[in-house]
Amino acid sequence: MGLRTAVLTISDTRTLENDKSGAYLYESLTAAGHEVVDRRIVIDDRYLLRAAVSAWIADESVEVIVSTGGTGFTGRDATPEAMLPLFDVTIDGFGELFRQVSYEEIGNSTIQSRAVGGMANNTLIFCLPGSTGACRTGWERILRDQLDIEHRPCNFAELIRTGGH
């Protein structure tokens, strides 16, 4: 059984019509058998981001949130600063592993990625960079398996389905 997910694109310029990264995540999640219960675009503002994600964290119909965008170093990139205060538990290894596998593709430019992951109120939250390539890397190399309850030796899906972390 798939997980109930939400996709958040963080951008000042994208719309649902031209949001390739959000569309990629939506399509990948649904192709893997997960249900996307909501998809939104929110501008790069830490308080608006916290409000959107907090609503999903409080919503029992959302088990996983995957965001794209706002993880760089420009003045408007605020995703980590917005999300970290919401986490009950930070998944340190997510950002570390993302940068490791990304290094194989883009070399030391991966050091500019501030991808983060965590859990809040039994909801998994993964924040990926805004490029479609980065979303593909995060999905194919990490999230696809970790959101599959059959993946062994362990996965995040079984943690949220049992309510423990």
pLDDT in tens, 113-150: 999 999 999 999 999 999 999 999 999 999 999 999 99
How much of the chain exceeds pLDDT 70, in percent? 97
Give the per-residue pLDDT at 54: 98
Domain 4-162 - what CATH class? alpha beta
Provide the whole-model pTM.
0.95
- Please give the structure tokens belonging to residue 115: 């991808």
105-113 long-range CB contacts below 8 Å, 24 or more apart? 105/133, 105/137, 106/133, 112/72, 112/73, 113/71, 113/72
Nearest-angstrom CA–CA distance, 44 and 21: 15
In the chain, where are the structural domains located?
4-162
